[in-house]
A = this chain, B = another copy of it.
Amino acid sequence: MKQSVAILGAAGLTGRELILILARHPWLEAAVLTSDRYAGERVAQVYPELDGLSNLSFEKHTLNLPRECPVLLATPDDVALQAVPELLERGHRIVDLSGAFRLTPEIFRKTYGKEHPAPSALAAAVYGLPEIARERIRSARLVANPGCFPTGCVFILHALGPYLDRALGVVVDAKSGVSGAGGRTEDAGFAYQNVYENFRAYKVLRHQHNPEIQLHSNSPLPVQFVPHLLPLYRGILSTIHIIWQDSPPDVETLLRDAAKKEIFVRYRDNPEDIELKKVQHSNYLDLSCRTLGSATAIVSAIDNLQKGAAGQAIQNLNVMLGLAEHAGLMIKPDAENGVPE
């Protein structure tokens, strides 16, 4: 019998992706789906393309969940801030996909201009990038699933960490599809005529993921972050530019080695081989780099709804529950490349 899982905020873009992944998961299954907007409707009514994958209906937001049922929180930040303390008290283990528990109290205050309302829960939260925090996630009661943009660069900057004090500057120039940029259908900025055949930067040097990147990449230098909106739906490609003081370290070997240990990270020979098509609908982080003189350019690609959100959340849940880390994430059990079971 499969382990039941609850998804709160299950009808959004990320929630839909969680339903899809769990429908194919060998050991987990969605048992509760909440959505105030669609309460009473069946999954297949709201998402016809998921017809046959789930017979559940959405119900109103609630914290009265089956005992011991792990919870995936795909709600806005403020709902998560309220729900998490109570869910912890009720004994649930949680993966929170919102931005509510990813920062320290100080950085949260600076970023959002207010005190964090649930400091003790925050103190217990583990930042859920399995590639850098697997052991702590294993026993965590609350995992803060990383933002989509940080997922595209934190692992990389972390791998270079010990060498970054030899750098003069670190720039993350990220390009995201509509679904990674928020993409609410009522927002004129996301109307077809304002997206198609168009491209623009947004929240230049002011994105809320910038402090998250800074904090978890352990970079001794400020990381300069500019996101852009691509005329497509799925995927984030990040170009990380590093300017080195003198001779750069062997970035390629550092990244190759870091990737080698990870089932979901793929180092490729040329940065020109990194493209969104190769990671869409998968949980991979693809990356490559080139160094010329004192400059290094690293290119990475993820599917923002998978590795950048729902896929990573299931990866975290797998780790927390002692399952194979890749279970349900489209990697066959006999994969040869070092499944960390």
Smallest beta-carbon distance A152→chain B, Å: 12
Contact B237 A200, beta carbon cutoff 8 Å: yes
Asked whether A198 and B275 contact (CB < 8 A) given A241-B224, A295-B205, the answer is: yes
* Chain A 121-152 interface 0/1 with B at a Cβ cutoff of 8 Å (1 = within): 00000000000000000000000000000000
Smallest beta-carbon distance A134→chain B, Å: 19
Specify which of B24, B232, B235 is in contact with A24 (CB 8 Å cutoff).
B24
- Tell me, yes or no, whether A169 is within 8 Å of chain B by CB: yes
* Chain A 197-223 interface 0/1 with B at a Cβ cutoff of 8 Å (1 = within): 111111111100000000000000010
Smallest beta-carbon distance A166→chain B, Å: 13
Asked whether A233 and B279 contact (CB < 8 A) given A52-B335, A201-B274, A204-B272, the answer is: no
Cβ-closest chain B residue relative to A192: B195
Bound-state CA distance A341–B188 (Å) is 40
Smallest beta-carbon distance A269→chain B, Å: 12
- 24 A-B contacts, Cβ less than 8 Å apart? A49-B282, A51-B282, A51-B284, A53-B330, A54-B332, A55-B336, A169-B169, A169-B295, A171-B171, A185-B193, A187-B191, A193-B233, A197-B280, A198-B277, A200-B275, A201-B299, A203-B272, A204-B271, A204-B290, A205-B295, A222-B294, A224-B243, A228-B239, A231-B231
Which residues of A pack against B, CB within 8 Å?
23-24, 48-49, 51-55, 168-169, 171, 173, 175, 177-179, 183, 185-188, 190-206, 222, 224, 226, 228, 230-235, 237, 239, 241, 243, 266, 270-272, 274-282, 284, 286, 290, 292-295, 297, 299, 326, 330-332, 334-336
